Structure 1
């Protein structure tokens, strides 16, 4: 029974696109939230084979999902698959929360014109945005929006990744994209676009130096940002074996900020934040589906989007060959494969780069050497709405930045 004098409110009906690690975890989480109900999940699999979700609460119909749900969470991890589905939902007036930064950085700027689209708290970009909200509310000025990376190998082998996928209980594609750096580049590009920050000149710098301690590394990034005169989106590689007395970072997010009011410095020293001028705020976890309910509730309550890729993004994620690739080669998988890795780039500097999320199923028109960035002239791309979304975004960005028009690809 509800509290005396209070009318009971029906729980919001949540639809979920995806039945992988995040989607099934969200099913369990929503089982314990009286104000949110897992109404229906959209899957490409036979519902009887999913196992962790009741088959009667699964469907292969996006129309049914839209018709029965108040809000939709997209966590398929597949940009090409999800782009048209999200467009349909937004066009029908259903707000969408994503746990798919790859989609945000490729299709998100195009999709948000159709309705309410936000990244969810729990994945690093959403967690950084949530931490920013708190830091700014206290009067601080962020100078670094940071992600923590525990390991980086730009060219992992398939046997290595199969081993770690089995140990971690996640997919081969996920563990590969985490290891080769693609995921962190995608995430920090979304953060830069969505929070009005910049990448360091020449791209993300976090993978070039391993710092002995977490705070030492965070402040080093702040000094780079200060010298460049920017608010910087980047990541931190810290030692797994720090010297005695040094701190090893947790797999979360952080912000380095300054305090414009000099009168507050004694108080901040008293509160053990140090001498300044840089103050490090750490959120030592990001719990993905466990935290999604916070964003879903914010959507239901009518709050502004937590984070999206912005209508006019400044950065994208290019595809760099991990190995020599022959003409005619078909790329089995863009993100999370063994042909390519992603790197954040300024769109104005490289309008002809192909976003890595678009390259699954692409055929090479010419041979590509290891280390080369793929251009639109290098590949035949499958026709899909995600490609159209990116080209539409480029056109919108070119219109606002005339110097980019000459380099915009036309397929």
Structure 2
């Protein structure tokens, strides 16, 4: 609660927190829109593979052209270098915090390793990279005395905050997660069919600059799986045994639906991540849906606490035992400055993976033939299912973050989870090597357990 005061102090000293941003897409542009309004914060450099597109983005969000320069030697107060070199941004000795916002898992891992090597704090907007190898990256950062952080404003960090709040107050977490728009048929959605589910024409979507594969990842369950795996890794909550169930549920029913199945809810056990749907299974909207929000369900473990719930109007399940806190919206990149300030000024992440507990396995959307090339997250061939890391390690499941551009070596049926043995992969790729090493390190622990 003191970050704003600390930022103002840095501003008064003419010593703002300096940021290097890699990737200038939607999330990053929302962050950049708030930077001029945030005291004590200076984006020193931005790297993007398409510099002119990034320049156009900056103009669209209201940055004055004179703020943008092309060489690190020319940077003065509040000026920002725009370059196509992520390496140059990471190497800049005057940058304190790197924000990785490319959305590409392999690139995210490379940039994270380089940032840690350069002694920079890292805010990982790239949750795809975080789920692929975040536990290893976070451990390396901690060993170097650096902060590796999930991105505040995105749902995983906001859920981590809610979980930390109720645990600090002495409550046991029963479930935590977010809301989304979901129907079972969405798992088969492809970039060619996605817009009808959003009520848009292909022409309107194209005119709005909307990426069909990215939006399809939101719809087909992949992005939800990635975000829940990130939360599991950061909080110690468990991933569902065979994927998220996306129960229809509004804000008022969270304590009723998100409790153990043995007590009338949908959970396999207490202490799990789950995503609730804003649609009933017949397509009707859920009353007071949580489509844009996040939640935590927790347990009042004594008669006195449950009486306090009743006295102060806390919504509970019929037993009075389970209650919930929720936030109806998240502000995406508009809130990212919280992570940057927390890393630089408090030396604390806004959520970070502590262990490998959840994973996201590539799952066939349709019958796939041997020789087909997978098109990854949001594509036409696979979607990502959130499963326990122990299952991923034991079965050798193929992570969704590496299910792009690889060729199938055998036919796979619709709904089948893919394995490493089903594809021809490049064992020398840096992201593959890091991920495989994480899996190998996990297997003995599981065997011993």
TM-score of the alignment, normalized to the shorter chain, above 0.5: yes
Separation (CA, whole Å) in 2 of partners of 1:73 and 1:170:
23
Shift of 1:97: 0.5
One of 339, 359, 368 as aligned partner of 2:412: 368
Separation (CA, whole Å) in 2 of partners of 1:112 and 1:225:
36
Shift of 1:399: 3.3
- The answer to whether the 8 A contact 2:191-2:378 is kept is no
One of 191, 210, 223 as aligned partner of 1:158: 191
User: Does 2:252 match 1:215?
Assistant: yes
- The answer to whether the 8 A contact 1:317-1:356 is kept is yes
Question: In terms of mean alpha carbon deviation, does 368-377 or 225-234 score higher?
Answer: 225-234
Q: What are the superposed Cα offsets for residues 164-209 of structure 1, whole Å, 9 maximum, x if unpaired?
A: 5548754222211111000111111111121011123333222xx4
- The answer to whether the 8 A contact 1:15-1:40 is kept is yes
Shift of 1:265: 2.9
Indicate the RMSD between aligned Cα atoms, in angstroms: 2.6
Secondary structure of the structure 1 residue equivalent to 2:260: helix
Q: What are the superposed Cα offsets for residues 74-112 of structure 1, whole Å, 9 maximum, x if unpaired?
A: 111100112111100011110101112211110212212
1:111 corresponds in structure 2 to 137
Give the TM-score normalised by the residue count of structure 2: 0.81
Separation (CA, whole Å) in 2 of partners of 1:28 and 1:78:
22
1:37 corresponds in structure 2 to 42
Separation (CA, whole Å) in 1 of partners of 2:420 and 2:53:
41
1:21 corresponds in structure 2 to 26
Separation (CA, whole Å) in 1 of partners of 2:237 and 2:160:
12
Separation (CA, whole Å) in 2 of partners of 1:228 and 1:83:
33
Query: What does residue range 1-400 of structure 1 map to in structure 2 within 5 Å?
Result: 8-47=13-52, 50-53=55-58, 54=68, 56=70, 57-66=81-90, 67=92, 68-115=94-141, 116-152=147-183, 153-162=186-195, 164=198, 165-166=205-206, 170-206=210-246, 209-211=247-249, 213-224=250-261, 228-239=268-279, 241=284, 246-274=287-315, 276-310=320-354, 312-331=355-374, 333-351=375-393, 352-382=396-426, 383-400=428-445
- The answer to whether the 8 A contact 1:16-1:75 is kept is yes
1:228/1:379 Cα in 2 relative to 1: closer, same or farther (>3 Å)?
A: closer
Separation (CA, whole Å) in 2 of partners of 1:93 and 1:18:
20
- The answer to whether the 8 A contact 1:177-1:335 is kept is yes
Shift of 1:269: 1.8
Separation (CA, whole Å) in 1 of partners of 2:340 and 2:108:
19
- The answer to whether the 8 A contact 1:47-1:59 is kept is no
Shift of 1:118: 1.1
- The answer to whether the 8 A contact 2:259-2:270 is kept is no
Shift of 1:9: 4.2
Separation (CA, whole Å) in 2 of partners of 1:45 and 1:225:
53
- The answer to whether the 8 A contact 2:108-2:126 is kept is no
Separation (CA, whole Å) in 1 of partners of 2:291 and 2:372:
40
Give the TM-score normalised by the residue count of structure 1: 0.88
Mind listing any 5+ residue stretches in structure 1 that lack a counterpart? 405-411
Separation (CA, whole Å) in 1 of partners of 2:262 and 2:252:
15
Separation (CA, whole Å) in 2 of partners of 1:30 and 1:3:
13
Separation (CA, whole Å) in 2 of partners of 1:169 and 1:218:
39
Q: What are the superposed Cα offsets for residues 215-270 of structure 1, whole Å, 9 maximum, x if unpaired?
A: 32552222338774430111111436458xx4333411001111234323333223
Mind listing any 5+ residue stretches in structure 2 that lack a counterpart? 1-6, 59-67, 71-80, 142-146, 199-204
Separation (CA, whole Å) in 2 of partners of 1:157 and 1:314:
29
1:242/1:43 Cα in 2 relative to 1: closer, same or farther (>3 Å)?
A: closer
Secondary structure of the structure 1 residue equivalent to 2:50: coil
Separation (CA, whole Å) in 1 of partners of 2:392 and 2:310:
44
Secondary structure of the structure 2 residue equivalent to 1:366: coil
